[in-house]
């Protein structure tokens, strides 16, 4: 089957590479000439484990190609996926759909035969209706159908998620379109991946509802972590205790500095704007967004408290900057709020991240970056684990303590047991655990 992917961002590139690995003939289209030129040379625009090898293998096999010419890309394609960005619109939080609608118009102008137009981008309810209206306006005689097929990819594990998905959701209003989508995903039948066919609007809402629910789980356990600190309980044991309940499950119940990335922040905001448009308030999601924003700011205060006394002129080493490991994505990363809080208090910031420095540098112009966690920590008054990269899971804590001006470790991911940290000569500060001195920590969940 011939497939065209419009957009070579995270979703488009991963989808195109995986579809080609299934044996489909895939063309990825993007207006960015430099990005396409780099892809043709095997240079990836994002960091995703295994993606460069997957792309190289399928380019060599003749199943995957790249172009800036949309008309050439969609020529003869039976399925055309729109995978362009839908960032939060400045000022109101609505999803910016200009790229989606622009792509739809260009596709309609370039159609040469029957095709299904698939919205892969995360879009609010009703977007498919507008895409269809554009299609009928521009190409009224075209034999084409509009389908919703949201992605559920985790950054850092996207290839595995695509090839072995929990489910495939397809929103189709026409049986012919549904049949084409069955053929697109036929290679996954061997993995017995369930395909859920719904109405188009239902499919669009499933994506937002799923991300909002996961964001709620993260925010819930973060507030429970604050209660644990105040009462002397251990949030990791609480997480295990409730996660063993099959109705709840253990995933997304790890206390930390708050969620970030490309999906949860913008999708929760877009869902709230949709609820406002339809006058159906989502009070739980409103609280999730507010608590998460407050928590990121509170993590900066937690680090300042760990410094003790007047923080001015001190140095803090941030270990890990991206919103999660195995990605270079810095969008809405908690580290951004922490850096802001530290710099507002006249604290100098050192930083290390194995993949995110290039993305972080323009966002953190006053931060000094280092190529190892030990160099970043040398001479610092506190080291802060912000992102749980594998390289930070087996640090030589004694070496870390020797290098630092003041041996203080603030573990915002609870990577290390407190007793191991203290045995290495470091003062420990973590998340959702009883304070080691027996006193209650401050309420870090309060708004800044």
The answer, as to whether pTM is greater than 0.85, is: yes
Report the C-alpha gap between 26 and 20 in whole angstroms.
6
Distances (CA, A) of 205 to 103, 149, 184, 399: 21, 11, 22, 50
Low-confidence ranges of the chain (pLDDT < 50): 438-448
Residue whose tokens read 């850096």: 339
Ramachandran class of 30: left when φ > 0, alpha when ψ lies in -120 to 50, beta otherwise: beta
What six digits make up the tokens of 380? 């610092």
Token pair belonging to 413: 């991911």
Q: Give the H/E segment covering residue 111.
A: none
Q: How far apart are CA 128 and CA 119, in angstroms?
A: 7
Cβ contact 172:181 at 8 Å? yes
For 428, residues 6+ apart whose C-beta sits below 8 A from its C-beta are 409, 411, 416, 418, 421, 422, 436
Query: CB of 207 within 8 A of CB of 127?
Result: no
Rounded Cα distance, 348 and 316, in Å: 6
Active-site option among 18, 28, 228, 263: 263
The answer to whether the beta carbons of residues 151 and 211 sit under 8 Å apart is: no
SS (H, E, C) 387-419: CCCHHHCCCCHHHHHHHCCCCEEEECCCCCCHH
| pLDDT at residue number 92 | 77
Query: Can you tell me the distance from the alpha carbon of 162 to that of 135, in angstroms, rounded to the nearest whole number?
Result: 28
Domains and CATH numbers, the chain: 2-198 (3.40.50.720), 236-429 (3.40.50.720)
Sign of CA dihedral 92, 98, 101, 103: negative
CA–CA distance, 5 with 30 (Å, rounded to integer) = 9
DSSP state of 355: S
In eight-state DSSP terms, residue 193 is: -
Digit-coded pLDDT (tens) for 416-431: 999 999 999 999 999 9
User: Phi and psi (nearest 5°) for 427?
Assistant: -75, 135
- Can you give the pLDDT at residue 446? 39
Cβ pair 150, 166 in contact under 8 A: no
* Tens-place pLDDT, residues 392-416: 999 999 999 999 999 999 999 999 9
Tell me how far the alpha carbon of residue 89 is from its chain's centroid: 18
Whether 18 is catalytic is no
Distance of CA 313 to the CA centre of its chain: 34
pLDDT (0 to 100) of residue 441: 44
């Amino acid at each position: 089957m011939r497939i065209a992917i419009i957009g070579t961002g995270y979703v488009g590139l991963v989808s195109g590479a995986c579809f080609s690995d299934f044996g489909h003939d895939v063309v990825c289209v993007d207006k960015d000439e430099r990005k396409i030129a780099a892809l043709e040379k095997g240079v990836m625009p994002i960091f995703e484990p295994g993606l460069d090898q997957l792309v190289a293998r399928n380019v060599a096999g003749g199943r995957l190609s790249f172009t800036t010419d949309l008309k050439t890309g969609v020529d003869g394609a039976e399925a055309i996926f729109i995978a362009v960005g839908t960032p939060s619109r400045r000022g109101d939080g609505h999803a910016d759909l200009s790229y989606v609608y622009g792509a739809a118009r260009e596709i309609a102008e370039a159609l040469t035969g029957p095709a299904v137009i698939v919205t892969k981008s995360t879009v609010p309810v009703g977007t498919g209706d507008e895409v269809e209206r554009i299609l009928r306006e521009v190409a009224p005689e075209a034999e084409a159908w509009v389908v919703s097929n949201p992605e559920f990819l985790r950054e850092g594990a996207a290839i595995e998620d695509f090839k072995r998905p929990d489910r495939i959701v397809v929103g189709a209003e026409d049986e012919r379109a549904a049949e084409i989508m069955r053929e697109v995903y036929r290679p996954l039948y061997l993995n017995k991946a369930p395909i859920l066919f719904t109405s188009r609007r239902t499919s669009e809402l499933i994506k937002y509802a799923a991300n909002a629910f996961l964001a709620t789980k993260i925010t819930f356990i973060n507030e429970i972590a604050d209660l644990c600190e105040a009462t002397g309980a251990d949030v990791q044991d609480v997480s295990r205790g409730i996660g063993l309940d099959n109705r709840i499950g253990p995933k997304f119940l790890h206390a930390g500095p708050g969620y970030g990335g490309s999906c949860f922040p913008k999708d929760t905001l877009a869902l709230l704007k949709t609820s406002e448009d339809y006058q159906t308030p989502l009070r739980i999601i409103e609280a999730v967004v507010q608590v998460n924003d407050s928590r990121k700011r509170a993590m900066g205060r937690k680090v300042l408290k760990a410094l003790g006394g007047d923080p001015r002129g001190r140095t803090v080493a941030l270990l890990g900057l991206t919103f999660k490991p195995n990605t270079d994505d810095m969008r809405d990363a908690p580290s951004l709020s922490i850096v802001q809080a530290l710099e507002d208090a006249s604290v100098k910031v050192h930083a290390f991240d194995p993949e995110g420095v290039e993305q972080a540098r323009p966002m953190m112009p006053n931060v000094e970056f280092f190529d190892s966690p030990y160099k970043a920590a040398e001479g610092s008054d506190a080291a802060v684990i912000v992102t749980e990269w594998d390289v930070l899971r087996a640090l030589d804590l004694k070496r870390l303590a020797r290098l630092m001006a003041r041996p203080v470790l603030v573990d915002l991911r609870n990577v290390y047991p407190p007793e191991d940290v203290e045995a290495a000569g470091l003062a420990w500060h973590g998340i959702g655990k009883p304070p080691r001195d027996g006193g209650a920590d401050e309420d870090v969940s309060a708004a800044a």
